[in-house]
Structure 1
């Protein structure tokens, strides 16, 4: 069992346990006509999914696992931090409405890329920061973005985000999908996911959906 620890403003500790029942499956990395895909890891995928779903041009976001080698990883397995996988999101988007470069901007605006194997209260390699690329152009965009952020001293500490080729993506168990929307009163959601999302909205300069 993996435990998420949520620190709220009053500094009390909330423990939320999740059992990893059910199977996972590898998703196709071939988008439908008119769509494109991008994959990012930036800590808890509950938070990431909610962030990317709010961006204009994004049609769907799926929570899952990427970056490892173990076959058919589960939430419980990934939570041991021994599989190489990180909690990730697969973003389906309309490239006519939002670019891959803009999604990379969203990625860096919605988490702290300077904390190694940690994001907020969650620690371990499964919560590390990774920007995945599918081709040389995407790799170049990520590297140029990191170079720009570093040059402009956007973050006080050095960026530790990994840059990795995208080789596979396993969809997480059903109960993880749209978790924030389905569980608005969950203690972790109230104490971590929603505050992180609100901070993103205050700092991000791009277009968000009107209902976000």
Structure 2
């Protein structure tokens, strides 16, 4: 028992060694100048964190104009985060998605609408059963225009619900692509218990209240 207690103390000590340094590193991320991702072949990119990326990936891929949704990590202070590392909460990263979209078909503003319509906007540090800072809600902006769109919509939603909206607003810095086995998880593993119980119901709730003309048919 004594050895177990010692091991736990050592583990906790080294898990997030210097809390002051970690806090400072995270503050630097939040206060950084946003990085704007250039168009590539006419496609733009946007970044969102909203709980488990398996769920969010499927939601965005149901929207017209979205070419692809990629699962990964963003919003933290460490380099090359892994699934295991982000789950400790020590990297500062949240599970996030990179949305590749056609800006002449779907606007960034609509993507923000998708974001708020596909989650519980008042849940802090998680969505549904997934809890922890790695599941927190973050919207990333790449320029001042995007930041103002986000802040305006967040304020309007707070007024409508008469509640505090949990989503943090971060300047985009870098997106780290998650491990291969996380990509297209809902589509490749439709019978997985989590997909059946959490992802598909979340997708269906979103589709039931979002304008049908903005959604892909048969998704």
TM-score, scaled to structure 2: 0.81
Deviation for aligned residue 1:114? 0.9
Deviation for aligned residue 1:30? 3.7
Distance, in Å, in 1 between the alignment partners of 2:170 and 2:108 is: 15
The structure 2 residue matched to 1:164, chosen from 140, 159, 170, is 170
Q: 2:86 maps to what in 1? A: 78
Give 1:14-29 correspondences, 5 Å limit.
29=37
The reply on whether 1:151 has 2:159 as its aligned counterpart is: yes
State whether residues 37 and 44 of structure 2, in contact with CA within 8 Å, keep that contact through their aligned partners in structure 1.
no
Give 1:189-204 correspondences, 5 Å limit.
189-204=195-210
State whether residues 110 and 196 of structure 1, in contact with CA within 8 Å, keep that contact through their aligned partners in structure 2.
yes
Q: Deviations over 1:61-116 (max 9, x none)?
A: 10000000111000000011111000000001000000000000000000112111
Deviation for aligned residue 1:31? 3.7
State whether residues 130 and 162 of structure 1, in contact with CA within 8 Å, keep that contact through their aligned partners in structure 2.
yes
Distance, in Å, in 1 between the alignment partners of 2:38 and 2:188 is: 28
Could you list the runs of 5+ residues in structure 2 that have no partner in the other structure? Answer: 1-35
Could you list the runs of 5+ residues in structure 1 that have no partner in the other structure? Answer: 1-27
Q: Which is richer in strand?
A: 1
Q: 2:55 maps to what in 1? A: 47
Aligned residues: 183
Distance, in Å, in 2 between the alignment partners of 1:92 and 1:138 is: 16
Distance, in Å, in 2 between the alignment partners of 1:132 and 1:201 is: 23
State whether residues 37 and 142 of structure 2, in contact with CA within 8 Å, keep that contact through their aligned partners in structure 1.
no
The reply on whether 1:63 has 2:71 as its aligned counterpart is: yes
Rg (Cα) greater in structure: 2
Q: Which is richer in helix?
A: 2
The reply on whether 1:209 has 2:210 as its aligned counterpart is: no
TM-score, scaled to structure 1: 0.84
Distance, in Å, in 2 between the alignment partners of 1:180 and 1:33 is: 27
Q: Runs of 4 or more off by more than 3 Å in structure 1?
A: 28-31
Distance, in Å, in 1 between the alignment partners of 2:37 and 2:98 is: 9
